[in-house]
Every structure is written in C-alpha cells, then in structure tokens.
Amino acid sequence: MGCGCILALIGLATPRFAIFLMWLFSDRLAHAFGSFLEAFLGFLILPFTTFFYAVAYATPGGVRGFGWILVGLGLVFDIGSYTGGDAARRRRARRA
C-alpha cells in the first residue's frame, strides 16, 4: 500500500489527524489553500471537507470533475457528524 493510500484511510477515520500529517510532511495544504487561516478554519469546522479538498486539489487547475464529488462527500460527512452528535445527545438526555 502506498503512502497516499494510507493517508486516505487515516483521513476517513480521523480527518483532523490526516490534515495534521499532510501539513507536517507535505506542501499539499499550501497548494490547496490560499492562506494558513483557511486551512486552519477548515481543520476546526469542516475537517472532512477540508481533507477531501486538499486530496482532490490538482496544482495546475484546482479541483475538477470527480474531485468536486469527493468534496461534496466530505461535506455530507461533516454535516452527518454534527447532526449525528446532536441526535445522540438527545437520546442520552431522554434516557436520564
């Protein structure tokens, strides 16, 4: 398995850790985002979307074609993680 495949698997499980590894060991985030602030806000608020955007970003032309589907999938994962957490919190409150 190549290094990119391992990073993708880590990103599906823990996108913030994968973004941190990407920032630490490559310049991919610098190419994908215009500033550190954009990448950091994405890290905090929309980690799956930020990770998939950085993975799908191609240096000469940006994100194209299937890459936008990946970014959309990341957004769905982020929304699901926020709404799933809220639903679990409500279930726990009803049991108590």
**What are the tens digits of pLDDT across the range 44-89?**
999 999 999 999 997 778 899 999 999 999 999 999 988 887 777 7
For 62, the 3-state DSSP assignment is strand
Q: State both tokens at 36.
A: 């550190």
Half-sphere exposure of 14 (CA within 13 A, CB side): 7
Confidence of residue 92 (pLDDT cuts 50, 70, 90): confident
Confidence of residue 16 (pLDDT cuts 50, 70, 90): very high
- State the Cα–Cα distance between residues 46 and 77, nearest whole angstrom: 9
pTM (two decimals): 0.82
CB 29 within 8 A of CB 16: no
- State the Cα–Cα distance between residues 59 and 10, nearest whole angstrom: 22
